[in-house]
Amino acid sequence: MDRRSFLKGTGIATILVAAGGIWRAEDQGIFSVGQGPAYQPWKDWRRDGSGGPLSLVRAGILAASPHNTQPWLFRVSSSAIELYVDTKRNTGALDPYLREQHIALGCALENLLLAAGANGYSSSLAMLPGKLQSSFVEQPQLVARVELASGTRQNSELYEAIPLRHTNRNPYDPKRAVPTEITDALKHLVENEPDVKVFLFTADTDREKIANIISAANNILYADPEVTRGSERWIRTNWSSVQKHRDGLTIDAAGLSLTTAAVAKFVPSSLLRWMISDREDPYLKLLQTPPMFGIIAVRNRYDQEQSLRAGRIWQRAHLLATARQLAVRPANEAVEMIDHEQELGREPRHAKLLAELTGDATWHPTFTFYMGYPIREANASPRRPVRNVIL
């Protein structure tokens, strides 16, 4: 039975009464998951048959970013591409030092460089040094420059995985372990990165400890109204807003079941939270399903260049998992709590908790994720078109 037939059978395809109004299912995108202008960049990423520099940008904008904020801007010439941070596209108190924002720029860089090789360019990357601070300017800031020259085409499984990579927020199968060849490949990703290290955790006791730390951090963070405010500005529950803004967190990419996602498009967010919750912490239950957690660490969490390098590793790890039919999801609340505690002048409790996990306080965790085999495939998130990110 296809999706439309199923929803019609449950009565969702006709009309629903919610928030005092009657809305048609078609108007809320029930039958249009992954369709419309907001999702076209995933399909057009190799449209430019000339393989010019814009082809590289089309790959770059398909990178991961916190809350799907897409905080990147590009200046393009025939021989170079400059990457800028758009500081206004931030998550507020959730990312007070723009650390996660710069990790996202590293993700975009990785896609761009993979596309450079696949399109026959020889590339040279220069990343600007700097220190991440809680005060920032609103004007775009240059963070990296990629020089382009003619070269030999170098395709790879990571490049081919770019349009298939999506964050999977569904539960994972706890009984299917991540293969050893994948864990080995993840460790090899940082062979040429002396300031970046990957820690992997598969033991039951470690995974339980990490899940509890992350879940507790999540509850503390979102009890802060400022954090909630900065996060909620990126939530797109209305189908027309998804197509208008082409960014943010959507219902289709939230990891809900087909029926719950359909109903969620018609109900207020307060009622939705009640629908998908129970007496136990729903996020903790989700965190108990993946067979492996990972931590990407750097020598200095607030070094701009190291944040970019960490982002490149995260994007590479996500593409590798995608190419090998696995899924990954960020679970970065514990590191966000480190930022939160530092910004508020509190005891660095979460830095200590993560140092106990890694066993080496000289490495600063900057990104936490989990990996495994999901119970459902992930849907794409919307993307702004190239014309909106060119300076």
- Residue ranges and CATH numbers for the domains of the chain are 38-163+382-388 (3.40.109.10)
Say how far apart CA 48 and CA 103 lie, in whole Å.
27
- In this prediction, residue 112 carries a pLDDT of 98
Say how far apart CA 385 and CA 57 lie, in whole Å.
10
- In this prediction, residue 20 carries a pLDDT of 45
- In this prediction, residue 4 carries a pLDDT of 40
Average pLDDT on 109-136 reads 94
Burial of 288 by CB count in 10 Å (0-12 exposed, 13-18 middle, 19+ buried)? middle
Residue 380 sits at the vertex; the CA angle it makes with 378 and 383, to the nearest 5 degrees, is: 160
Query: Which residues, in sequence order, are bridge partners of residue 292?
Result: 371
| Stated pTM of the model | 0.91
- In this prediction, residue 10 carries a pLDDT of 41
CB 321 within 8 A of CB 157: no
* pLDDT band (50, 70, 90) for residue 152: very high
Q: Lowest mean pLDDT: which of 18-32, 78-92, 321-335?
A: 18-32
Say how far apart CA 389 and CA 285 lie, in whole Å.
38
**Cβ neighbours, 10 Å, residue 345:** 6
Instruction: Please determine, for residue 343, whether its predicted confidence score (pLDDT) is greater than 90.
Output: yes
- In this prediction, residue 9 carries a pLDDT of 40
CB 341 within 8 A of CB 347: yes
CB 329 within 8 A of CB 370: yes
Mean pLDDT of the chain: 89
- In this prediction, residue 17 carries a pLDDT of 45
pLDDT tens digits for 3-57?
343 334 444 444 444 444 444 555 666 666 778 999 999 999 887 656 689 999 9
For residue 353, the SS3 value is helix
Say how far apart CA 342 and CA 335 lie, in whole Å.
11
Say how far apart CA 366 and CA 353 lie, in whole Å.
13
Maximum pairwise Cα distance, the chain: 61
pLDDT tens digits for 249-272?
998 888 877 777 667 676 665 555
Instruction: Please determine, for residue 73, whether its predicted confidence score (pLDDT) is greater than 90.
Output: yes
- In this prediction, residue 34 carries a pLDDT of 74
- In this prediction, residue 135 carries a pLDDT of 76
pLDDT tens digits for 89-105?
999 999 999 999 999 99
- In this prediction, residue 255 carries a pLDDT of 81
Alpha helices of 246-332 — where are they, by DSSP H? 258-264, 269-276, 282-287, 304-323
Looking at residue 209, the DSSP 8-state letter turns out to be H
Higher pLDDT, 237 or 126: 126
Looking at residue 11, the DSSP 8-state letter turns out to be T
Q: Are strands 196-201 and 292-298 parallel, antiparallel or unpaired?
A: antiparallel
pLDDT tens digits for 353-379?
999 999 999 999 999 999 999 999 999
CB 74 within 8 A of CB 83: yes
* pLDDT band (50, 70, 90) for residue 71: very high
- In this prediction, residue 3 carries a pLDDT of 37
Say how far apart CA 50 and CA 44 lie, in whole Å.
14
Reading the block at residue 73, the tokens are 């801007």
Average pLDDT on 127-144 reads 91
